[in-house]
């Protein structure tokens, strides 16, 4: 059998880059899609994949991704996403909310729509959306992000229903506290103090590799096995508001 192929969006850092590495190690040819050319070129060179510069919120860019992938695709990991801001709903920044909906929902839908024919054509495709525990609960200051990630979750469920008679599995992974280089820094607009506070007193949050490992497991199950959703947290995070933190020096 020829080498199976995978697309990972948001592959320039964090969970996306780790997933590209893990899938390549599992035998996939990986199309590394993201906006930052230098990063995905280096990653693709490292893992023998193909870099594709792509902004998932731009339809023309997504079409170019589909053209680069070609007629057949085995795995699509819709990972591109993110949180912008942490203001209460009463002070919501409409532009931040729009950006979050654009990347976490509309971008995901655009990539899915463009690549679905290739997933179907493979005869055994897997579509995996990277959601969040923020798509399961609400928390103060999380309004725009939780709304968007609930959107990711509902789109995933809808797709599973709509594709019920197609040879495509539809899965979601919903990670909790994962420490990556960029997620919290982007959310807090580069405020390192606020970003570090998210993980304060938690010496062992999940890593991008933990999530990539779980994603690789999900997409490599036998073809009759659909892992609908997988919620994954560090042991210290029993719930969004219930995190076992160790005292930190003042």
Is 24 or 177 the residue whose CB approaches ligand 8X3 more closely?
A: 177
Is 50 or 240 the residue whose CB approaches ligand 8X3 more closely?
A: 240
Q: Provide the edge-to-edge strand list for the sheet that holds 168-175.
A: 50-53, 29-34, 5-9, 75-78, 125-130, 168-175, 229-232
Helix, strand or coil for residue 221? coil
- Out of 101, 139, 145, 199, which one is annotated catalytic? 145
Q: Shortest gap between Cβ of 169 and ligand 8X3 (angstroms)?
A: 23
Asked if 35 and 54 touch (Cβ cutoff 8 Å), the reply is yes
CA 27-15-51 angle, to 5 degrees, is 60
Is 51 or 135 the residue whose CB approaches ligand 8X3 more closely?
A: 135
Between CA 159 and CA 76 the distance in angstroms is: 13
Q: Which of 185, 201, 212, 197 minimizes the C-alpha distance to 236?
A: 201
Among all residues, whose Cβ is closest to ligand 8X3?
A: 132
Q: Shortest gap between Cβ of 208 and ligand 8X3 (angstroms)?
A: 12
Q: Shortest gap between Cβ of 82 and ligand 8X3 (angstroms)?
A: 9
Token pair recorded at residue 210 = 């933990």
199 carries an active-site annotation: no
Angle between helices 143-162 and 107-121 (to 10 degrees): 20
Is 44 or 148 the residue whose CB approaches ligand 8X3 more closely?
A: 148
Helix, strand or coil for residue 33? strand
Asked if 219 and 126 touch (Cβ cutoff 8 Å), the reply is yes
Q: Shortest gap between Cβ of 133 and ligand 8X3 (angstroms)?
A: 5
Is 142 or 143 the residue whose CB approaches ligand 8X3 more closely?
A: 142
Q: Shortest gap between Cβ of 234 and ligand 8X3 (angstroms)?
A: 11
Task: Give residues in contact with ligand 8X3 (CB under 6 A).
Answer: 132-134, 142, 176-177, 240
Give catalytic residue positions.
Answer: 145
């Amino acid at each position: 059998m020829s080498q199976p192929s995978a697309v990972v969006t948001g592959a320039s850092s964090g969970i996306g880059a780790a997933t590209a590495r893990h899938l390549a190690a599992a035998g996939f040819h990986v199309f590394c899609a993201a906006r930052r050319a230098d990063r995905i070129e280096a990653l693709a060179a490292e893992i023998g994949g193909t870099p594709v510069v792509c902004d998932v919120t731009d339809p023309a860019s997504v079409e170019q991704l589909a053209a680069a992938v070609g007629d057949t695709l085995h795995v699509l990991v819709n990972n591109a996403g993110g949180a912008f801001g942490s203001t209460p709903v009463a002070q919501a920044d409409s532009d931040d909310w729009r950006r979050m909906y654009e990347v976490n929902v509309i971008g995901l839908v655009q990539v899915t729509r463009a690549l679905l024919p290739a997933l179907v054509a493979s005869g055994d495709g897997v579509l995996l959306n990277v959601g969040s525990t923020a798509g399961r609960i609400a928390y103060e200051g999380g309004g725009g992000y939780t709304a968007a990630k609930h959107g990711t979750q509902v789109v995933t469920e809808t797709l599973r229903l709509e594709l019920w008679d197609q040879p495509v599995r539809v899965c979601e992974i919903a990670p909790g506290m994962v420490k990556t280089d960029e997620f919290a820094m982007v959310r807090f607009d580069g405020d390192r103090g606020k970003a570090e506070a998210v993980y304060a007193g938690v010496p062992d949050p999940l890593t991008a590799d933990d999530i990539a490992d779980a994603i690789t497991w999900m997409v490599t199950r036998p073809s009759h096995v659909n892992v609908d959703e997988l919620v994954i947290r560090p042991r210290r995070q029993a719930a969004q508001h219930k995190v076992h933190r160790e005292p930190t020096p003042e």
